Structure 1
């Protein structure tokens, strides 16, 4: 597998990881803010889809033909990071699939050294290559998928990429409580030692 195919595979896998975190949730749980800054699962999906359209569309002269009202000058702050009740989950998921398809077409049609311009970046950084943007979006998508992992665990306790994920130790609730207690005690002991 060549470098571009490898990066595209990683991007596709992280997209799938992110989407999996909104599966089998109520509308409330998919949208509710779980941090003081309002981070929520469906908002993360919307954000990643939105920015990916910009990076693999506008940056490389490939407009996608969709207007994203949350990026308008008069839009509420951070409108790409949450989903109002008037916007359906299906609309957000469709946007994500559309964005992925449009992005994949850009990636597949251009060489890694294809030049692009990110108009919202500073003058000294805005000239880029497809390779740079592909790495950037792999990292950004992975970062938000990690946020989604934690948010989903806070909502219903599920952890890992799927049920039975071998990277998550198999523990029952009592064993997890004991494990968490052990970590909490270590943190308290470290705090006491440093005062």
Structure 2
């Protein structure tokens, strides 16, 4: 894990989030477009779909006024023209915009949310860690089912 594990609250939150973002990127690394689209579970969850979904999550929580995400059939749907490289690039760009957006506000800054009322940046970062880590775990299982690769660093 890069970053500070003994820093202040913000630094610790950002370090955990960055680590989980890196896990997601590593789970997609080296997969062909076909492998990234493989469905190993009854749902439509794929490594490619996770990348697309998480880019939308980044945009939803840190790139605009937070609101409900589209249904999974939409947020995980990958078009035929979309590639792993393009999805990773879109995810990285969404993460960069999120970093830039979050950097401009203190952790206590609140924004309205259509379902939750007021949410603080602290809450959003904590939620982003939870959401990204959950899907990194999904990606780890899907990657293992694809080619046997396991672990947070591989």
Gaps of 5+ in 1: 61-69, 164-195
Asked if 2 retains the 8 angstrom alpha-carbon contact of 1:55 and 1:118, the reply is no
Q: SS of 2:111's equivalent?
A: strand
- Residue aligning to 2:153: 162
Structure 1 residue 90 corresponds to structure 2 residue 80? no
Structure 1 residue 148 corresponds to structure 2 residue 143? no
In 2, the alpha carbon distance for the partners of 1:77 and 1:130 equals 24
Residue 128 of structure 2: which of 128, 134, 137 is its match?
A: 137
- Residue aligning to 1:42: 48
- Residue aligning to 2:57: 51
- Residue aligning to 1:10: 16
Q: SS of 2:78's equivalent?
A: coil
Asked if 1 retains the 8 angstrom alpha-carbon contact of 2:31 and 2:84, the reply is no
1:45 deviates by 1.0
1:39 deviates by 1.1
Q: Deviations over 1:136-192 (max 9, x none)?
A: 0000000000011111111111111235xxxxxxxxxxxxxxxxxxxxxxxxxxxxx
- Residue aligning to 1:175: none
- Residue aligning to 2:30: 24
What root-mean-square deviation, in Å, do the aligned CA atoms of Structure 1 and Structure 2 show? 1.9
What count of residue pairs does the alignment treat as equivalent? Answer: 146
Asked if 1 retains the 8 angstrom alpha-carbon contact of 2:23 and 2:136, the reply is yes
Which ranges of 4 or more aligned residues in structure 1 deviate by more than 6 Å? none
Asked if 1 retains the 8 angstrom alpha-carbon contact of 2:32 and 2:84, the reply is no
- Residue aligning to 2:111: 116
In 2, the alpha carbon distance for the partners of 1:50 and 1:128 equals 18
TM-score, scaled to structure 2: 0.87
In 2, the alpha carbon distance for the partners of 1:34 and 1:94 equals 24
Bigger relative CO (Cα 8 Å, ≥ 6 apart):
2
In 1, the alpha carbon distance for the partners of 2:108 and 2:153 equals 36
- Answer with 1 or 2: which has the greater Rg: 1
1:126 deviates by 2.7
1:91 deviates by 2.3
